[in-house]
Amino acid sequence: MLKHHNALGVALSLRPTQPATLVRPHAARRAARFFMSKFPGTSMYAVKANPSPDLIRTLWDAGLTHFDVASIAEVRLVRDVAPNATLCFMHPVKAPEAIAEAYHTHGVRVFSLDSIEELDKIVAATARDGVAATDLTLCVRLRVSSSHSKLSLASKFGVPADEAAPVLMAARQVADALGICFHVGSQAMSPQAYGDALAQVRAAIVAAGVTVDIVDVGGGFPSVYPGMEPGRLEAYFEVIHRGFEALPISYSAELWCEPGRALCAEYSSVLVRVEARKGDVLYINDGAYGALFDAAHIDWRFPVTLVREEASRAKPMEFSFWGPTCDDMDYMRGPFALPADIAAGDYIEIGMLGAYGAAMRTGFNGFTAGETVMVSDEPMDTLYAVTEESPDKIIQLRQH
């Protein structure tokens, strides 16, 4: 992999004609160490956020040993990159063939579910010669509110707390360890999201009268973007810890979480070239079918900066972007603030794209990514920092 100090070095030395992905392994290591040292339980990386083998290897080398996988392809990927990792198959609806391969070939023992039908499927697929498995960890997913989050995950999966008792009791009968999991939605902007969800967990446990061994609070932990600056992650952890300690659960119960965005958002950015300018609209060489899916389809705003050897003195103005394909949906409204003198041939760095940017990229219309380059500068924004007094101690930078 090529290495440069920053986006300017890449622009000047490579003059890339395709979008260049800039990766910062040190940012991912820093985020992983923060979660491992601060979260009062086990942190596992949600691979769907960015399935880069290099990122998975970076997180493993940083000490993260658990990975949330959502498909058999992700199972195979992580098992290949980190053979000794603990894999948790947390998609609530899985193909029986995927369950069987995960269990019998790749040693997966943790599965989520949200119905009796899925439970029966897991039991059948993990049996050997007609004998049911006795080493399953089964996590029943509850449906909880996404009202505190920027992206909802409250519609597709999960059993309502007041309907969960039959599923929990049935899972308890066949599980070696029983868990409850949930997902508050992506980019949760308030710790209250987890407090409210844990209240639903309490109600479900009381109604079912079962012993619960694991509480998995899922993902949703935020990163920082223009107009979306969350509070301290420690405040999230404190609310989770208090709620967990108040639950009627096994004395030895474990607390888990599944950060995706919070671990990888700062890992990468993309360097794009302006191909044309029409007033306040810039035509760039990446877009809705590349790393900027979220910017196009849900109006997600990412930080941007002009990458030019001599800094611009022009006042900033607001731009929108067209991507490179022939599709009218390849449009990013923004607004994105850039110097008013930006022109065709200039480069723009678009930051905080480590989460979902790489995962959503396609080759539609023949437009694909160019080089991946490792850079050593800091991300365009960050939630984490290293103290000068104690370089090994990770703190949260922002104190909103």
CA dist., res. 378 & res. 327, Å (int): 34
* Residue 76: its H or E element: helix 72-81
Scanning the chain, the segments in alpha helix (DSSP H) are 7-14, 25-38, 53-61, 72-81, 96-104, 116-126, 165-174, 192-208, 233-245, 261-264, 293-297
Token readout for 179 is 């868990």
Q: Which residues of 157-169 are buried (b: 16+ CB within 10 A; e: fewer)?
A: bbbebeebbebbe
Rounded distance, CA 28 to CA 52, Å? 12
Residue for token digits 């705003």?
A: 301
Task: Report whether 300 contacts 335 (CB < 8 A).
Answer: no
- Both tokens of 181, joined, read 């999991």
CA distance 386 to 117: 48
270 beta partners: 21, 350
CA distances from 132 to 91, 180, 328, 354 (A): 21, 22, 53, 41
Instruction: Report how far residue 160's alpha carbon sits from residue 158's, in angstroms, rounded to the nearest whole number.
Output: 6
Helices (H), 105-191: 116-126, 165-174
Tokens of 232: 């301290």
Active-site annotation holds for 326: yes
Catalytic residue among 88, 257, 264, 326: 326
d(CA 33, CA 345): 39
Catalytic residues: 326
